[in-house]
Structure 1
Amino acid sequence: MSAHEKINYVEFPASDLDKVKTFFIKAFSWKFTDYGSQYTAFTYSGVDGGFYKADIKSQTKQGAALVVLFSENLQHSIDKVEQAGGKITQPIFNFPGGKRFQFLDPCGNEWGVWSV
């Protein structure tokens, strides 16, 4: 399949780049490359992307899209999120097609994790 006109990269705000990098490394083993003091790119996440330095947050209540990660074991993922400093905002719940939970990263961005 061609990459033409497919989602290729996503970007998120983060008030503290070091804190958000540490969280995603501990919770999900993402890799980071810094581009100056205002931007860091991530890989090993499914879709590459980055965080830019900003005092805003990406949350659905403000109209942001919800990025949802896949997990083979939701409870294990919840444990890793909490141990890395994330805040669970919606514990595991059923939805058509599976189960998921939602959390905030240390900079307040909202994420989901789902499983079958």
Structure 2
Amino acid sequence: MSNTHINYIEFKAHDLEKIKQFYSECFGWVFTDYGGTYIAFSESGLDGGFEKTEDKIVNGALVVLYHENLDSIRKKIIEAKGIISIDTFSFPGGSRFHFIDPSGNELAVWSDK
């Protein structure tokens, strides 16, 4: 897998069962449950997931980039005046962090390394 490409997209959802039913019926997406607060989807052209939230959804999409070395790319983001909005955390399959770019967009970077 190469570095620095869009690899995954996440959306927010209030009801995971309803959102699963909607996208599987309308678009044929396939879902994998990860506990009660997250579902991943495939068969959509670009893999992604839905995270359950009770908050108002303003911009529910999170673009997730891939990089082999999280420490290296995190350092580059900070040096380029990006802001780390969520520190590195682990999840099944890897680790990731979130950052804010100079225009205020929040993205994430993940790695399976």
Q: TM-score, normalised by structure 2?
A: 0.49
Q: TM-score, normalised by structure 1?
A: 0.47
Instruction: Please state which structure has a larger fraction of its residues in strand.
Output: 2
